[in-house]
Structure 1
Amino acid sequence: MVDMMKNMDSQVIDSLCGEFQDNNLIQPKMFSKYGVKRGLRNADGTGVLAGITCVSNVHGYMVNEGEVEPIEGRLTYRGHNLYDLLDGFDSEDRFGFAETSYLLLSGSLPNQEELDAFTDLLADACALPDGFTEDVIMRAPSRDIMNKLAVSTLALYSYDPNPDDTSLENIVRQSVNLIAKFPVIISHAYQAKRRYFDNASMFLHMPDRNYTTAENILSLIRPDGMFTREEAMLLDRCLIIHAEHGGGNNSAFTTRVVSSSATDTYSAIAAAIGSLKGPRHGGANLRVCKQFDEMKENISNWEDEDEVLDYLCKILRKEAGDGSGLIYGMGHAVYTLSDPRAVALKNTARPLAAQKGFEREFNLIELTERLAPEAFYRVRGEHKIMCANVDMYSGLVYQMLGIPSEMFTPLFATARIVGWLAHRIEETVTGGKIIRPAYKPIISRAKYTSISDR
């Protein structure tokens, strides 16, 4: 009986799919015919201007008399160059994610008193509500931690005494609360996943108010809760690098679109999480790691440039890899000569790679970065200007820190929520209109027929 029901369900689904294919075919040439800019990208690859922001700037090219000119990539947070922020934190040998969060939310760097007060506020908000882990995270565990993060974010709405107030003061209060709680949510969701889906032991640690965000994450996910300062400092740098990337990236734009409807903060951030979960966005570093695992298995000498180049050509010809013809981790929609996040992460990670025995892997990634343009030329006959993006190195950094792959994208979300919230605040305070672009209908009129005549 069960098999019969499954067959009936399959037949209905197959029928619906068949009807869709018959009635919803949109030819690619139609987009050009009607001047539709797919992906909100112009014909020259630049983005369609959809708004104004003071939060950050992603700069990867210049347009000179209609021609796109490649330049070294620059990423600025509230006018501060990412490199300058990282150099400042390094020179003073201190953690910087809380300070970066303050900068992105407020628009200015805090003085010591303001930073201490903000850090205390985060520490006060990091604990989950009583019973939240048991009732929300563990009662319905998920194989995918991003799914559980979205559910948990929506569930926090129920614990907020004033969830729908969209005043600046209330959104800032909610922002601090979410930034503080995300590390605990993803860590507890990971432990629940281990227990219920991996048949492994579960270690539920509580956050330490004296720890930074990076220190708490490492403490929460490791069975013994132990970590080194060097490990925590590297993770802190990853969080800073991933905290924001302009209003045009998919998840930030999602935040702004949803926020423009005047909905609550929890709904807007849950929507952004759903965007980041996609392998074309936040999940890209997992594809990079998988591709490098395949390369390491199939390339006998990782230092042989000819052999590595040959394998990259096979990937582009769809003879190796996942058949997509893509070298994951190479290229970016905005950056041309360099991705400043990848440059910063590579420089930060290099010493730890030597220390933890990942030098060969690190060198293979660098070699791939250098040879990929030549592979494109050999296979496709084009001199393509491209650079490694941040995904090329972030996965390796997480591996060096012993962070499991299922935590890669949740860690990205734990950093990027700061940027999302900065864009939500800006959109709510200064937007004023619901975002509603137009779509060209290409359907013809249909006449209703009675069900007996269909």
Structure 2
Amino acid sequence: MDENTFLDEHAAYAGSLRVITPESYSRYGVKRGLRNDDGTGVLVGLTEIGDVHGYILDEGEKTAVEGRLRYRGIDVKDIVSGFQQDNRFGYEETVYLLLFGTLPTQQQLSDFIELLGEKRSMPTGYWEDIIMRSPSTDIMNKLGRAVLGAYSYDQNPEDYSIKNILRQCIELIARFPALVAYSYQSKRRFFDNESLHVHSPDPRLSTAENFLQMIRPDQHFTKLEAEVLDLALVLHAEHGGGNNSAFTVHVVSSAYTDTYSAISAAVGSLKGLRHGGANNRVMGMMHNLQEKISSWDDSDAIASHLRLLLEGREYDNSGLIYGMGHAIYTLSDPRAILLKAKAEELAQAKGGKLLEEFELYKRVEILTPEVFRRVKKSDKVVAPNVDFYSGFVYKMLNIPPELYTPIFALSRIAGWAAHRMEELSIGSRIYRPAYKNVLGGQAYSRLNDR
């Protein structure tokens, strides 16, 4: 029997096995996806790192409130306001806050930025052996393998002291821009038949500036472009311990494995379409809308298209308007508000078609709640989440779509690192939730009798 015949036959067999029904979960009181019946998350841990607040529970019912995101207790709006008023980049300060639990002094921030600059370069042979010799069509796949490969270049990979884990995390944070950029360049060279452009990281530049100069052939970028990307990195750096990739870090770290395995596992989680790929789906949805309506300022035509989306008769027939609504935020997503303001500044600077497209996004944001109310017969509040605008921001920065989720990882490595150190520092037990077997017993039959 050849391979395809075997797989076809056995895939059909595997697919015919008894499927556990939703009613079974209710019968045994199982919280599917670690979600309560009202959509709230099951409390499985404690953290001091990120706090995501989007509703209030009043006598068992959710009451919508304006969204709030805090890093180490500080509102992200205040963090953004602080570095924007100082006319400086904010991601490095945000990383420091997440790792150490306090805002840095001017000298501490200067020292930390200098340390990150020193650590941005790859170890000797790493670029050639780990990235160039095994390129991938998917940059997140390559990033996960590149993180695992770093283990081989670490002379002390299995030391679980906080000092050593901190060193490993800082090195990964510093090198993630190059890991993503070089994985992208190797993909372009080997799979897209494009020229290879490999630019060394500049220790004098911020994380956002370094990334832009490494992915662009001419290394050129404007200050506003770097500011917009820097803001996006700040807003994606952390989102509580319950999001899938951060929770993955906690679970894997609780098994007492090495840093590279834990962070690579988080990359694998973020690669999943249900976690890190939302802004790509927003972009696809908006491209579909732009093709189907003749005038971008025709609110009636836009509303009609949105209705078709909700009815599952447009784009991917999912019945969703991607980028609208969030699992926790209700009245607003603070990240979307901050990113939208900076996106408008960039759209004004770019002008032309991009400014027209930004206005289209704003119309979709305004029209969706009313269309949702009429189609779904629901009074649920629907507000844009950060993914609604982030993909368009990257488009304005001329960043290709295959880099959207890797940029998410480039930012979120800060939160992952903080969660890994928190998990190990509190000395918690290995995660071991229970699964109930509902199949029952079967008799064994001898081979000749089957």
- TM-score band by shorter chain is over 0.9
Alpha-carbon distance, 1:23 to partner: 2.4
Is the aligned partner of 1:279 residue 2:273?
yes
Determine the structure 2 residue equivalent to 1:255.
249
Q: Is the 8 A contact 1:373 1:383 kept in 2?
A: no
Q: Aligned match of 1:167 in 153, 161, 164?
A: 161
Determine the structure 2 residue equivalent to 1:417.
413
Alpha-carbon distance, 1:431 to partner: 4.2
Alpha-carbon distance, 1:254 to partner: 0.5
Is the aligned partner of 1:47 residue 2:41?
yes
Is the aligned partner of 1:349 residue 2:343?
yes
Structure 1 unmatched runs, 5+: none
Structure 2 matches for 1:31-180, cutoff 5 A? 31-180=25-174
CA deviations 1:195-232 (Å, max 9, x no partner) are 11111111000001101101100000000111111111
Determine the structure 2 residue equivalent to 1:396.
392
Hey, what's the Cα distance between the residues in 1 that align with 2:372 and 2:449? 56
Alpha-carbon distance, 1:171 to partner: 0.8
Tell which deviates more after alignment, 308-317 or 350-359. Answer: 350-359
Hey, what's the Cα distance between the residues in 2 that align with 1:331 and 1:15? 41
SS at match of 2:16: helix
Hey, what's the Cα distance between the residues in 2 that align with 1:431 and 1:319? 51
Hey, what's the Cα distance between the residues in 2 that align with 1:278 and 1:370? 29
Q: Residue type of the partner of 1:370?
A: I
Number of residue pairs matched by the alignment: 448
Q: Is the 8 A contact 2:54 2:65 kept in 1?
A: yes
Structure 2 matches for 1:308-387, cutoff 5 A? 308-357=302-351, 358-387=354-383
Q: Residue type of the partner of 1:334?
A: I
Alpha-carbon distance, 1:267 to partner: 0.1
Hey, what's the Cα distance between the residues in 1 that align with 2:379 and 2:299? 19
Structure 2 matches for 1:287-306, cutoff 5 A? 287-306=281-300
Determine the structure 2 residue equivalent to 1:453.
449
Hey, what's the Cα distance between the residues in 1 that align with 2:135 and 2:245? 24
Tell which deviates more after alignment, 375-384 or 401-410. Answer: 375-384
Q: Residue type of the partner of 1:141?
A: P
Structure 2 unmatched runs, 5+: none
Determine the structure 2 residue equivalent to 1:223.
217
Hey, what's the Cα distance between the residues in 1 that align with 2:307 and 2:382? 16
Query: Aligned Cα RMSD in Å?
Result: 1.0
CA deviations 1:148-192 (Å, max 9, x no partner) are 100000000011111111111111100100000100011011111
SS at match of 2:116: helix
Hey, what's the Cα distance between the residues in 1 that align with 2:119 and 2:274? 32
Structure 2 matches for 1:424-435, cutoff 5 A? 424-435=420-431
Q: Is the 8 A contact 1:183 1:414 kept in 2?
A: yes
Q: Is the 8 A contact 2:240 2:246 kept in 1?
A: yes
Hey, what's the Cα distance between the residues in 2 that align with 1:48 and 1:368? 33
TM-score when scaled to structure 1? 0.97
TM-score when scaled to structure 2? 0.98
Determine the structure 2 residue equivalent to 1:442.
438
SS at match of 1:23: coil
Hey, what's the Cα distance between the residues in 2 that align with 1:453 and 1:11? 24
Hey, what's the Cα distance between the residues in 1 that align with 2:347 and 2:62? 36
Alpha-carbon distance, 1:116 to partner: 1.2
Alpha-carbon distance, 1:19 to partner: 2.4
Q: Is the 8 A contact 2:126 2:153 kept in 1?
A: no
Deviating above 6 A after TM superposition, structure 1's stretches of 4 or more consecutive aligned residues are none
CA deviations 1:337-367 (Å, max 9, x no partner) are 0011111100111111111122221121121
